[in-house]
Structure 1
Amino acid sequence: MTTKKITIIGSGNLGLSIAEGLTSKSAIDKKNLLLTEKNADRIKILLNKNFNISEDNISSVNNSDIIIIAVKPKNAEEVLKEISDNIKPEKHILISCVAGLNSQQILRIINPNTPLFRIMPNTAIAVGESMTCISEFNTTEVQKKEIENIFSKLGKVIFINEELMSAATVLAGCGVAFAMRFIRAVTEAGVEMGVDAYNSQLIASQILKGGAELILSNDTHPEKEIDKVTTPGGITITALNEMEHYGFSAAIIKGLIAAFNKMNKK
């Protein structure tokens, strides 16, 4: 558990998910975590979850060691300009979750010597199952290890070069939505076959979780696991071939590349 004081600026879906993950996985004592928010309705939600809340970004920065920026991309530069004079490289570590805002853009606004981590988690961080990709700038090995230790409690962590951050955003950041769409499709098929919606969704969710765990635990290739299930002439290979006939793999690849291309046009 880190003893550092952490402020999360921006308490929307991602900011709240990070806060819930940090506290539920005992990565931080709740008294050392502060969330900033200015929307009255959102503040009520956060207070009901017993988080410490502030509407003042500057005082929150002054009283923290680690600052996590989790605002929407359109608001990021304004927030960074607001707190720039209060970020002290000798004291603070800045973590940005803002998609599309690179390190050069950030360090042009704040002190260019500030230790900076760009991270791309996903909302599964709330339950400690995020895939978090991290790039680092101006950091020491001690700082890098500290951030790695914090986010390793919240799922899997890899360090990547910044030029791969757009791809990481699509794969890791957006990926939960793609997994959810798969679960929804399997659930709907189950209902059509006569299984009730609750149990269909449970089955769909568990097969996705179980399949992923086979890959992660065995460090194996998906096709190797598929081969264990596809009996020659059986129903599994029939279903797989039908899915591919309708463009299953191609649709996934094209969707990911379309998101990647759109992101890089910004």
Structure 2
Amino acid sequence: MKIGFIGAGKMATALASGFIKGGLTASENIVASDVIPSARKHFGDATGARTAAENNSVIQSSDILVLAVKPQQMAEVMATVSHSLTDRHLVISIAAGITLSRMAAALGDNRRIVRVMPNTPCLVKAGASAFALGGTANRDDAATVQKLLSTVGIAVEVSESLLDAVTGLSGSGPAYAFQIIEALSDGGVRAGLPRTVATQLAAQTLLGAAKMVLETGEHPGSLKDAVTSPGGTTIAGLHEMERGGVRAALMNAVLTAAQRSQELGKS
């Protein structure tokens, strides 16, 4: 696959690195453009792929074009690339909030376009992505996107109306998880553990808990109950979490991020 990225930031780097590490394509088949020299350098250093300061060479070298710029930059980018696209191009956008209808209006109704919401754990092949088809994209295109994203984690196809919710949950979710890991590590330090040990245990605990949910298929509540003995340490800790409003705070974080994604799409 010949893949081009317009935008060479963290998410583009994570995806490109994942595609290469997963054996989906080689670094010589990937090229990225970015107006920021430091972004181009980081992308090139991390992936071994080519970079460019302008977009035309990326478009000409690619069959799959990933628009990996900030939502606020999408209108300008789509205006500059629209005249260079051909029927061979599958256009994938990872910009939060930018709807398929806006993309079709800017790029042309005849374009094969897909809207994707990935997340940064794609870099370690543990991504959680969702996508929706638009324009003239067909089932073969869906299979291509599924293959790309499955190389760097899991991928699900959803209706576009659900992508803002995906953005609030899995798109922004790694940041929530990092904060939880940091807080658990702080608790371990407060209880006397060295920082390195506390952070390692906290991160592995979340990783192990997540694997149990995915691999057993059991409801998280059931798995929680299996750890919680009457009058024991775990129920005492859970009580403190409930008193601190952790559950409500996480729910509100997802909802607020999803609403922000909607706002970005309208701006």
TM-score, shorter chain, exceeding 0.5: yes
Alignment of 1:198-213 (within 5 A): 198-213=196-211
Match of 1:140 in 2: 138
Shift of 1:261: 2.6
CA distance in 1, matches of 2:26, 2:10: 21
Q: Is the 8 A contact 1:99 1:120 kept in 2?
A: yes
TM-score by length of 1: 0.95
1:91 to 74, 88, 91: 88
2:193 counterpart SS class: coil
Shift of 1:230: 0.5
**What is the identity, as a one-letter code, of the residue corresponding to 2:69?**
V
2:231 to 220, 225, 233: 233
Shift of 1:215: 0.6
Matched, 1:157 2:155: yes
**What is the identity, as a one-letter code, of the residue corresponding to 1:244?**
E
Q: Is the 8 A contact 1:10 1:37 kept in 2?
A: yes
CA distance in 2, matches of 1:45, 1:141: 34
How big is each residue's C-alpha offset from its partner over 1:50-82, in whole Å with a ceiling of 9 and x where there is no partner? 221111201210221000000011111111110
1:11 counterpart SS class: coil
How big is each residue's C-alpha offset from its partner over 1:199-218, in whole Å with a ceiling of 9 and x where there is no partner? 11111101101001001001
Q: Is the 8 A contact 1:24 1:127 kept in 2?
A: no
**What is the identity, as a one-letter code, of the residue corresponding to 2:72?**
K
CA distance in 2, matches of 1:213, 1:29: 30
2:146 counterpart SS class: helix
1:8 counterpart SS class: strand
Match of 1:35 in 2: 32
CA distance in 2, matches of 1:13, 1:249: 29
Match of 2:245 in 1: 247
Matched, 1:193 2:191: yes
Compute the RMSD of aligned alpha carbons. Answer: 1.2
Match of 1:18 in 2: 15
Match of 1:128 in 2: 125
Q: Is the 8 A contact 1:17 1:125 kept in 2?
A: yes
CA distance in 2, matches of 1:192, 1:58: 54
**What is the identity, as a one-letter code, of the residue corresponding to 1:76?**
M
Match of 1:119 in 2: 116
For these two proteins, the number of residue pairs brought into alignment is: 262
Moved over 3 A (4+): none
Shift of 1:34: 0.7
Q: Which runs of 5+ in 2 are unaligned?
A: none
How big is each residue's C-alpha offset from its partner over 1:205-256, in whole Å with a ceiling of 9 and x where there is no partner? 0110100100100111001111111011111011101210121111111222
CA distance in 2, matches of 1:238, 1:126: 36
Q: Is the 8 A contact 1:65 1:91 kept in 2?
A: yes
**What is the identity, as a one-letter code, of the residue corresponding to 1:9?**
I
Matched, 1:100 2:75: no
Matched, 1:47 2:40: no
Point out which structure has higher relative CO (alpha carbons under 8 A, 6+ apart). Answer: 2
1:212 counterpart SS class: helix
**What is the identity, as a one-letter code, of the residue corresponding to 1:250?**
A
Q: Which runs of 5+ in 1 are unaligned?
A: none
**What is the identity, as a one-letter code, of the residue corresponding to 1:43?**
R
Percent pairwise identity: 28
Shift of 1:262: 3.1
Q: Is the 8 A contact 1:95 1:118 kept in 2?
A: yes
Q: Is the 8 A contact 1:87 1:111 kept in 2?
A: no
TM-score by length of 2: 0.95
Alignment of 1:215-234 (within 5 A): 215-234=213-232
CA distance in 2, matches of 1:259, 1:79: 24
CA distance in 2, matches of 1:257, 1:40: 35
